[in-house]
Every structure is written in C-alpha cells, then in structure tokens.
Chains A and B, each alone.
Chain A
Amino acid sequence: MSQEPLVSINRRSFLKGLGLTSAVTAASCASDKTQNIYSYVRGEPEQIPGVATWYASTCTECTAGCGIQVRTRDGRAVKVEGDPRNPINRGGLCALGQASLQSLYDPDRIREPLKRVSGVGETARFEPISWDEALAQVSEALKESLAEGKTRAVVTGEMSGALGDLVSQWSKSFGASHSMYDVLQPTALAKASELVFGVYGIPEYSFDRAEVVVNFGADFLETWISPVQFARQWADSRRSAKPVRVFHIEPRLSLTGASADHWLMNKPGTEVRVALALLKLVLASGRGNNLASDVRQSLVGMTEKVTPGSAAAEAGISEEKILSMAQYLLSAKRSLVIAGGAAASTADAVSLHVVCHFLNSVLENVGTTVNLNRMRIPGTSMESMESTISAMKDGSVAVAFVHGANPVFTLPSDYGFEYALRNVPLVVSFSSHLDETTQNANLVLPTHTGLESWGDVRMYEGAYGLTQPSMSPVFNTRGLGDVLISLAASAGKPVSDAPAQNFKEFLQESWKAIARKHGVAGDFTKFWNESVERGGFFPQAEVAPADRVRVQVNRSVFSLPFASVAFVAADATGHEAKKDEHYDDKGPAAHDAVPGKEVLVFPYPSVKSFDGRAANRPWLQELPDPITQIVWDSWGELHPSTAKELGVAQGDVLTVRNHFGEVNVPVLVSPYVSEGMVAIPIGQGHGSYGRFAQSVNTGNVLTLIAKTAVKDAAAASVAPSVALVSARAKAFKAPGRAKLVKTQGSDSQHDRDLARTRLISEGTDGALVTKGHNAAEHSHDVKQMYQQREHPLYEWGMTIDLAACTGCSACVVACYAENNIPVVGKQRCYEGREMSWLRIERYYDNGTFTNKEDIPPPEELSVSFVPMMCQHCHNAPCEPVCPVYATYHNEEGLNAMVYNRCVGTRYCSNNCTYKVRRYNWYDYEFPDTLNWQLNPDVTKRTVGIMEKCTFCVQRISEARDSAKDEGRTVRDGEVQPACVQSCPTQALTFGNLKDPHSAVNKARDTDRAYKVLDYYINTQPAVGYLERLRYAKS
C-alpha cells in the first residue's frame, strides 16, 4: 500500500482497474520516476480507494459448487476465499479454487475473438477478429446448416443451472445435440446407483456420520465429487470423541490414502474381489435382511465364488485385513463403503460401484451415510459424446460449439475427437484458453471465466449457488449465455418463452422458478439481492439427511462381471479392430518390436493439475505435489522392483508407449505403488494451453488410454465413463536424464519428533484410548536465561491440528495469493530457491514411536503432514542475529520482518530452526496480467531481501484498524491469516493467546498439544501443533 490510491507502483506495476469508466495507466517501473495519481471519473458508491470490496459467488472450477468470497481492491479481484456461509464448503477452499485467479489473469488467456487462418492443431495460427464479424459468421453458418439440413453439435463441460438450461434449450431450438464431458465425473457411480437404487445420480455421502469407512481408491480429499465438503466432514469426525476409521485400498498411495488409518496397497483391478469378499462376510453374518429376499439370495450367489482368502491372494493384501475390515464394518453402527478415483475407473467400474452400493444397503447405510435425497446428477454422458463424435466423423455436423471442455486433451485419443472436429466445417470454441481443442477451432469466441460472469450451480435439489462477476472483464470476452442468446435472437429462435435480453435476465427468470419452487413469497428483487449477497440459496442446507431408503435393483446387475479386471496388452485390446482410417496412430506400427517391458498405465488426478485444466497456473505448477513433493513436472512412479526390471533409476527418463500414444516421464521410484505399473498424474504434458502448462513437455498420459467397450451387454453398450486404468504399454529407458525437482530433502523425519502421531486403540472396556508420547518424557522445566516478555494486548498464535490436516496444500496456494509470493520456476526450485512461506512437510513413518531412518514398507506406512510456516518463536533464534533489526519481536508476539531494512546477511535463515525464511535471490517478475492479482496491502520485496510468513500481518493491521474505529479490541476470529481461512478442514486456528477463551487457546487445550522442536531448543513457538491421530494397526 503506498500512500495514495490508484497509483502504479514499482513491482506491483499492475494496471489498476478503475471500473468501466476510467482509463488505466501504464506502469512506471521505478519508484524514482514521477508517479501519477488517477482518480475515478465517476465514483463507484461501494468503492473507497484502498478499501477492499468483497463479492459472494460460487466457485466454478469443478462441479462441487463451493461458495466463495472474492476480495477486490480498486476494481480488481485479488483474492478468492471460501465462504463460511456456504453449506458445501463451510469456509474452506481447495488449491484449485484458490488458484482460479490465475485463470482469470492468465497471461496466455485469449484476449479477443480469433479466427484460424492456417494450420490446425499444433500448427494452427489465429488472427484477431471483431465480435460482430465473428458472430455474423457463426449466424451465417448456423443458417446455412439449417438450410442444408445438416446438424449442429454442442460439446460442453459438466454444466448445471441456468447456463445448462440455456444451452439445452438453445440446442433444442437449433436442433443441435448437446453433450457434456468431464473426465473426472463419476458417471459409473451414477450408473451403478441407477442399477441398484433405481435413480441415476451420485448420492450424497456423509463421512462424519460413519464410524468406519471402507474406501476403494476414492480420492475424496482431493478431486472426488466434492473434496472440500468431504474433507471437512472427515476432519470433524477425526476430531470428535469417536473418530471415523478409514480403510483405504488402492494401488498407489494417494493423498487420501495417506490420511487413512489403514492403507492397503492392492494390485490394480482387484478392488471388486475384495469388495465381494466383504459382501460375502457381511452377508454371512446374517445381515441383509432389509433387502428383498431374492435380492439377498442373488447377492449370496454372487459372492459364492469368492472367499476372503482368494480375494486377498488376488489383491495382494493379507486375509486378516479383509476379515478385520468386515469385522469393523459389522460392528459399526454406521459405516460407509465407497469406490472412486483412478483405482475405480477400470473398464468394470460399474461392477465395483454396484458391490459398494450393495454393501451400503446391506449395512443399512442408505439413509444415514448415503443420502439418496440429495443426488447430484452428472450431465456427462459417454453415450452422447460417442454419438456426437460419430456424427462429426460422418460429416453430418456442420457447426460444432465447444465450451468448458478440452476433449482433445482429456478424451482418450482413440475416440478420435480431434479427427472428428477437423471433419466439421465450422468449429467454434468458447474457451478462455488456447487449449488443444481450441487449436482445432475455426473461430474462437473467448468467454468469461467464472469470476467475471453471472451464473449458478445446482449442487443438489435444495442447494443453489449463485455466481456473480466480481470485476469487469479483464479482456475482450463475453459470457457464453449472452453469446447464445444473441445468436438465437439473430436467428429468430428464442430460447425461452419470455425472451431474455441477456443471460443475467435469463438467470433471474430461472431463479424466479427456484423461488416459486421453494415457496419464497414476496418481492423477487429482495430474494435476488439476498441470494446474490449470500452467494446462493440454500433452503435445505440444514435439513437432516435423507430418510428415503430405496433399493430398486435392476436384476441385470447380477450378470455384471465381478472378476478382477484383466488388463490385457495394448495390442490385444481389440484396438486393431476398432481402428478406422480416421484414427491417427501415434504409436509405432510394430508394437511388438518395441523394446521394454509391459506395464500397466495408472493415470490419476491430483490436487495440482486436476484433469489438466489447472496446468497453466504457476501457483499450482510450483505447488509441491503433496505426496511426491515434486514441482513443475509430471512423473512416472514405479515400484523399486519394477524399476529394477526396467533398468531405470530415479531421474531417468522413461518412455511409455503403446499404440495410442507415448509419454516420456521422469522416473520416480517409490515403494508405495503396486508392482508392474507406472503411475502418472493426469493433466500435465499439454501441447498447447499456455507457457506454464507447456513447460512440462512429458506428453499427455491420457493419450495412452483406449476407449473400452463394456463387456457386458446388460449394462450399457457404451462404458459410462472413461476407463482410466485399462491400458498397458511398453516402458523402456529413454536417453538422457530428467531434472526431477523434489522440494523435500528427506522423506523420513529421522526420529526427530517433528510430526507426532498418537495411536488410538480400544481399551478393555471398549472405549477408545489414545496412546501418545509420554508426557513426562517431553515436558521439561527449562531455566530461562532471560526474563520472559510481556504482551500488553495481543499475543498472536496459531494451533495446527495434524489430525485434521490432509496435506491438500490449499493453504500454500492461499499464502501465495495473499502475500504476493513470486513463482520462481522449475530451475530456481531445483536450486532450492522456491519462495513458499508455508510448506507442507510429508514424512513417511511407521506410526510407532521408534522411527527408523529409512522409510517403512507399505504395510507399516504412516504418513504425516506438517504444515510448516514461521513459528513466531518467543525465543526466536533468527532475531538476535540480525545486525540491523530487520527482524525483531514486536509486542504482539509477532516475529516481525521489516523488508526494507533487510541488507541480506541471511544469518536469520541459517539460524532459523524451522528453515521457514525465504530469500529473494533474484528480482522476480510477475508476467503481465498475472501481476493484476497482486495484493496491494503487502510490501514488495526486491532482490536481496529475506521474507517469511508474517501471520498475514496486513490482516491483523486491518482488524486492529477497524477495532480502533469502534473503540474495542480485536475480536476472536476476526483475524484469519490466508492459510487459516482457506483450510478445508479447519485444521488451523488463529487468534490471541493472551485471551484464555480464544479459539486458538481452546484448540490447544488438549494433551495432544506440542510444539515442534521446542523440547530440544526451547524456541517457544507461537504455533502449536496437535498430534496426528491414527488407529493402531490391528
């Protein structure tokens, strides 16, 4: 913050958006130049220069529908935070949502309509075109196609709410097909619900109501359905008196698996056998009488051929584990069995989901932990996609619209989507980014991102999120809805009975219907304004979960295959038969001649890149993957024995190739992946999309995947979802070495007591007892050399509950966003110069108190995440060593850092026990338009300056300021640093340690409380940790 508003400043040389009416000025890059002040031409009533304005909205990054609040300063969105009033996310927000700002300000965003002038795909060249011209061309083409009797196709991403309605109505009136595609939508789960419960959709799961969860690979803390919501539920339960016990069965350690009590590494594709064995054991104990007797009988028949022993053998896990899982499921009052994630996206995914649904039914979870009243209905349909693609291939489609999806990247290449697009005379892409699909478009009509547009999200019946623009568009873009309405108007085909002039009106019309449906009486404007202010309308948010217990079994379900999935070699998947002249065979003609060994390709989504849509966001690229701790890269995880077989070591480049495609990934050896497979994250290896995404040039793992026909006719002729785990490929060592940048030094904590784990076990009376570190061992009476200092009013502190930390890294991204932390790129990270003020340390332990130096074998694995930021020690080692007082202790207990006083001796960093200080080794530039996001309340840092976590002192200052205005002290909870605010599980609590009733003090009032390293070096940190909780291995 400089003295005056609306001034271009040095490093924050961003253009200050001055609303619609005022011009902007180019930045002066040195503070020594004359500085200008530009005022508004016309005042905006809610905007006082230098005072933030907040807008409530709904996140549109994934389909979960989390509520957000967007902080804007002088007309620019600078921070996105979770809305605590939203029933889905309750205040937290994931890394992807936090990074939505970098999609808004993406320097590679399409800034105006484009027309392709030459080439196609990777060779495409575009030239700008005006909106009018572009729309005229589209109108003309639509008219022609109607006249010629050709069809039109609209392909969008997952879409709900008014925009979805508008698109389908538009499609109807133009006779176009509308298909949605989202690679991560659990459509197989929805299909299984239809087969078992008679309703197509995704039930709402309640992790907080379950005592035991058996999870077949669902990454519910990362990307699965509604991760922020689930994470909060899980964490609430973990903090309660009876924490939920989670069994996680998957072939590769995921972030969610890392938080489970019992992580079981199985062979890929064997989940269904374990589930069947569980079902058998559960039925054998006499459960399942709530089902129709013939259904129960069929179930018994279904499980006849499997035994716990055989399932264990197939899955590669021990029989005792299966027996104990069944035992826990049976003894729990409420439990939950789920499947999902990459592990459950095999060709036979529906079978697995069906068994899980049956298990839930038999265990009487439907109605408690499985809510069929709040179904999310995914719009993604592979059937519709396939028919659209074949229509395109036929040449019967004259105009194709693509919006919000990048099927060329996310659809397995043998669907031939790219070829199909090229067969369409006019492809119009409504993408904001020049992605792989857009590269094939003839016209690009860039649309707003979620932060610039009106819209709504229907999570389930009774929860409606509203999206409002938080700033005027950054570039010359328009909303999809507005474009469609204007196209409809010019073609004389109104999209609704009461023709709306623009999409906002259409939206309001559709909200009138919502108001009517939920019996909201009175003035619509009032309802509308309230909803906008609230970020949505949640009439049923507080209603107890469903009582509807419905099992309407489609009998064909029993003829589904319930065998382990057989992953056949690539050349034997029937690919040859399916191959048509359209398919662009990227692989070598003679697959067998390729050297190397066959491995199973295991693509999985991650919090970092999701399905690839987040790949051009530097925050997420630089975010260390929570499990591998790798930045700016893709990788192939191999079991040590597989690596040995392939003759590769960590850092080698592995070529994975089959008929469909090829990727070249750096090898990462980890004992926590199953043998014989290579696990590669989805979302990296873009051929186009932007400079950051393209910097990872490993190739797209999804190109290795083949579309797989469902073997069973009874279910559907088309697989309901893409089978991520289905392809085998030849893997061999490629020449050269890769620079795999791992930000974590050692995976083990070397018995240093940094992340403590407390084991929960059942006492003799059945009550839970926790066994932690011997309190006496770690309590110590230190004779203080100096008098302890007094804090007159505030003593800021933080409590971090490791039992609730999932390692999701949302806090890290929030910290980047709030504090203008520069992204330094791969090379600088390699040099150890990443700037992250907050890091999530991930340690592999064996969960006992005698940690070995080496990382434990999978069956003993216990993973700990430690969010580590400046501990604001009262006996801070960094402070006395600074020769110029650039860092000192202020009387609010903050370890203050005065950037402009720092001369850069770096002694403080050396002396910092926690190594949380970061140094500006260079002057870091924020590329233009990304710099628009910078927070003007944070001091800039130039080369040679040390920086670190300040507990978001600018927020403390703001709170102190408003408290002074009102003549009071700062209230508990009034200050929330960015990390605390963002935490989906509320693992972090911040407040005044002086106040005995503050939340931060209450949180640490438990025998789980400890401080990292304090025992050894008496630093007296202001950050307290609570030990991680984990059920003892039974």
Chain B
Amino acid sequence: MGHHGTQEHKEEAPVTYAEVDSTVAKMMEPPTLGWYILLATCLLCVGVGAASWTRQILVGIGESGKSHPISWGAYITNFVFWVGIAHSGTLISAVLYLFRAKFRNSIYRLAEAMTVFAVLTAGLFPLIHLGRPWFFYWLMPYPNQMALWPNFRSPLLWDVFAVSTYLTVSATFFIVGLIPDVAIMRDRAKTTFRKVLYTVTALGWSGSHTQWKHYTSAYLLFAAFATPLVVSVHSVVSWDFAVSIVPGWHATIFPPYFVAGAIFSGVAMVMTLAIPIRAVYKLERLITLQHFDAMSKLIMLTSGVVSYAYITEFYTAWYSNNPFERAQFWFRPFGDYWIAFWIMAFCNCMAPLALWYKPLRTNIAFLFVLSIFINIGMWFERFNIIVQSLSHDFIPAVWGYYNFSWVDVGITIGAFGWFGMWMTLFIKFFPAVAIMEIKEILPPPMRNEHAHGH
C-alpha cells in the first residue's frame, strides 16, 4: 500500500480526495427516471421468474424442459453461468489485490458487487432445479430426527459447501470493503433516511489508526482466503460434471477449463456493467481506458485458455478412441444442437481474437458488444456441456432432445432481473466505486512533498 497512481493521470490534473468523493457521491444522488425504469424492468423480470417458478412448483417440475435422458438443462446452465460470472469479481478484488495490480482499485467494487449478486443468483438455481425444493435442507448436515446425514461423497454436497462458503467469504469481503466507504457516505448524508441507513451500515467506522491497522491486516487475509476460492469454487462446480461418467463430462481438464471460462465470462460481465455505468455517471477519470486495456488483455488470455480447452476436449476424444467420447464430440458441432456449438465457438474463440488489434482494446463501443457476445457464448458453452452430453450418451436407444420450455426461459429472464435488481439498487445506495481504495492509490495531501519517504 501507499503506492501512488499518479502516473495514470499524467496528462490530466491529478485527482484529489475531494474529487473522488464528489464523483462517487454524484452517482448516489436521488434517482432519475431512467434509474426507475431500469429498476422496474428488473422487477418485471423478477416477476416473470417468480411466476415461472411458482408454476413449476404448483404444476410440476416437468414444466421445465428437462426430460429423460436430459435431466439437467437450463437451470444448471444458468447456475454454472452465474457462478462463473462471480469469479472474475473475486479475481479482480482478491487476486489482483494480492498482486498489487493498481488498475483493480477503480473497478473492483463493481466487480465484487457483481460477484456477490451473481452468487446470490446462482445460489437460487440448485433450489429451483430440485424436484422437491421444500426439502432442500436435507442437503445440510444438521442434526435431525431421521438420524441421517447427507452424503459427503457426493459432488453436489461439495457444491453446497463450496457455494455457501464462496457466498459467505465473498459477501464478507465485499461488506468489509464497503465499511469505510459507507462511513464516508454517512458523513456526507443529507437526508434522514440515508443518514440512518449509513450510520447503521457503517457500524460506527471512524477510520482511527487502530481500526485501519486491523482493517488492512484483515483485508489482506480476506484476500488471501478469497484467492484460492477463485480456483476452488469453479473447480468444485466442474466436478459436478467431471466426477460423473457421462461422455463429454468426464474429463480431467474440466477444473482449469472451468476456472478460465469463469474468469473469461466474469471479465466480460464486468465490462458489460462498467461501460454503461461509466458513461452514465461520468466516471471516465476513475475508470480509464487503461483499465479497459488491462481487462481486454485478461479476456485475450482467458479466451485463449478456453479455446485451447475446447480443442483439447476434441483431441482427447479422438485420441482416446473411446466410442462414446468420439460420438459425443462429433455430435457437438454436427449434431442436433450444432447451432449452439457454433455460437459458442464464434463468441468465445473467434470474436475475442479481434482484441489483438490494439485500438480495439480501448474502443468502448466494440468492447461493449464483444462483452455481450462473450456472455452469450459462455452461456452456450455451459448449455453445450450439459445438454449435449446428456442427450447423446452411452445408450443410443435413449438419446433424446431437450425441449426448451417457457418456464425455462422465464426463470432465466428472472435470474437476469434478479441480478439486475440488486445491481441497480446497489449503485444507487452504496458507492459502486471504491472511494477509499482509489484515494489509497492517490498521493496523500502533503504540505511538504520532500518530507514524504518515497
């Protein structure tokens, strides 16, 4: 800590503490009509999702498009998609923190919020997907009159632990990071509502030297804990598949492949969120083009890893001479769902190649379009893995098709609405850009520059 970010603003006047405060505070000014429309849209989507889920519970899980043999479909696709989205948030907030990558500070809050809300969204899917969601608590190891415990050998139970740990740790990390910023808001608040809200949520933070001491120490430790989670959570999610024997799932490459894919999709999602927020709230001086360049490079890297993993899957299938694997990987590009495969290949492997052309890495419009492409591509990647593998496995007599249903679509829309709803509320009520951490990379105000040790 204590590094100075002055070189980032060479051409312009240096950013001051006060400017950071006022820029961020501006974001939190009373909502505009546009914000209300956005929130209403999100709530409408949540309503669609809730109605779909209600229908599914009342009529039967069969209202979703799953069938025999495709017992997992859109819900698990969404689950993996949202867990994946979460990952880059943790990567940016924790891993880059440990690596002291300064470009993280202005986008990390957004990324971390995205993480928490994405996990919050993802966490719904295992519930939605259950046939008897009212018994979800049987997956928890709680002492009960049945004298029964869950099966700790099941990858799904690992999921329960991994996702709940992830949610807890990332939420903790997120909230702890928010505390000093909420304290700022508390001290600037003008309305009683906000005053009360921030007074309570700031927990009485004062920024005294002992608090900072323990805070920075704890923050580093949180980052240290969150970092292995980046690798482990999606590895565990990938084991849901890799530990099984379904051709197309049973692959040792899955954990790194999933982690890379998660970061890939997450960074894309950060871009999708950051670009409009930056434009609307005029954060150009806080979130600069250098940030986008850095993120673009991350996308290039992870896109490369993901593409390599795709190729490896095909190569492994061919080289193994296993008839089931071979059939599966022939089926993917040329079978019933060829269109899903080629969407994935285009969005995830081909489109990001454009970033090798440097000007595009700072072309905001292009990046926005690309990030949406990647989001779509990554959704289809999961769809391909889950649905394609299941529809074409060992016994040809039971090969089948996935029948996408309106409930599937409704719940997917609901998930986006749910996520959007939290994001929308968040940017209005809490600082979506980390004030304290941006200040941290600015030079502290000094009467005598030379007295400063660096």
Contacts and interface: CB of A to CB of B under 8 A. Distances in A.
B158 to A, nearest CB: 9
Contact of A843 (B69, B397, B401): B397
16 contacts: A745-B396, A745-B399, A745-B400, A839-B397, A883-B151, A902-B132, A905-B126, A906-B72, A913-B393, A919-B71, A921-B61, A943-B131, A944-B60, A944-B61, A944-B132, A946-B131
Contacts of B398: 744-745, 839, 915
Interface string A928-954: 000000000000000111100000000
Interface in A970-1023: 1013, 1016-1017
Interface in B147-199: 148, 150-151, 153-157, 160
Contacts of B246: 910-911
Contacts of A921: 60-62, 66-67
B150 A877 contact: no
Interface in B42-85: 59-62, 66-72
Contacts of A750: 323, 327, 396
A744 B394 CA distance: 13
B382 to A, nearest CB: 14
B136 A913 contact: no
Contacts of A843: 396-397
Interface stretch (A531-539, A789-797, A827-835): A827-835
A834 B397 CA distance: 14
A904 interface: yes
B61 A832 contact: no
Given A746-B397, A841-B395, A906-B66, A885 B71 contact: no
A964 interface: no
Given A832-B69, A1013-B394, A904 B148 contact: no
B138 A905 contact: no
Given A746-B397, A911-B245, A922 B59 contact: yes
B396 A749 contact: yes
B194 to A, nearest CB: 43
Contacts of A746: 396-397, 399
Contacts of A915: 68-69, 393-395, 398
A918 B131 CA distance: 13
Interface string B338-373: 000000000000000000000000000000000000
A909 interface: yes
Nearest to B240: A907
A924 to B, nearest CB: 9
Contacts of B151: 880, 882-885, 888
A943 B59 CA distance: 9
A901 B131 CA distance: 12
Nearest to B394: A913
B127 to A, nearest CB: 10
A902 B69 contact: no
B68 A834 contact: yes
Contacts of A77: none
The 5 A-B residue pairs whose C-beta atoms are closest, nearest first, are A904-B131, A944-B131, A921-B62, A745-B399, A832-B67
Contacts of B203: none
B205 to A, nearest CB: 40
A902 B139 CA distance: 11
A240 B151 CA distance: 48
A384 interface: no
A910 B71 contact: yes
A849 interface: no
A901 B323 contact: no
A1013 B327 CA distance: 15
Contacts of B156: 881-883, 905, 907
Nearest to A866: B397
A752 interface: yes
B62 A922 contact: yes
Given A883-B150, A903-B136, A910 B61 contact: no
Nearest to B137: A903
Contacts of B400: 745, 832
Given A750-B327, A905-B156, 9 more contacts: A744-B398, A745-B397, A881-B154, A883-B151, A884-B148, A903-B131, A915-B393, A943-B132, A1016-B322
Interface of B: 59-62, 66-72, 126, 129-133, 135-136, 138-139, 148, 150-151, 153-157, 160, 240, 243-246, 322-324, 327, 390, 393-401, 403
Contact of B68 (A901, A911, A919, A1016): A919
A945 B60 CA distance: 11
A880 B245 contact: no
Contacts of B68: 832-834, 909, 915, 918-919
Given A831-B403, A885-B148, A910 B72 contact: yes
A754 B151 CA distance: 32
Contacts of A888: 151
A754 B72 CA distance: 25
A93 to B, nearest CB: 25
A1015 B244 CA distance: 17
Contacts of B139: 883-884, 903
Nearest to B60: A922
A905 B151 CA distance: 13
Contacts of A945: 131-132
A580 interface: no
A833 B324 contact: no
A914 to B, nearest CB: 6
Given A752-B323, A905-B130, A920-B131, A1017 B245 contact: yes
Interface in A201-260: none
Contacts of B66: 906, 921
Interface in A797-846: 828, 831-834, 839, 841-843
Nearest to A923: B60
Interface centre among B154, B246, B395 (most CB of A within 10 A): B395
B245 A868 contact: no
A748 interface: yes
A913 B390 CA distance: 11
A762 interface: no
A547 interface: no
A394 interface: no
A888 B160 CA distance: 20
A919 B129 CA distance: 13
Contact of A911 (B62, B129, B244, B322): B244
B61 A904 contact: yes
B324 to A, nearest CB: 7
Nearest to B135: A903
Contacts of A922: 59-62
Contact of A752 (B70, B136, B396): B396
A751 interface: yes
A625 to B, nearest CB: 14
Nearest to A887: B151
Given A903-B139, A915-B69, A943-B61, A885 B150 contact: yes
Interface string A126-149: 000000000000000000000000
Interface in A64-87: none
Contacts of B396: 745-746, 748-750, 752, 754, 843
A746 B396 CA distance: 5
B148 A752 contact: no
Contacts of A749: 396-397
A884 B138 contact: yes
A911 B399 CA distance: 14
Nearest to A839: B397
A696 to B, nearest CB: 22
A877 B245 CA distance: 7
B132 A904 contact: yes
Nearest to B402: A832
A881 B243 contact: yes
Nearest to B160: A883
Contacts of B322: 1016
Given A831-B67, A881-B244, A903 B324 contact: no
A842 B62 CA distance: 27
A744 B401 CA distance: 12
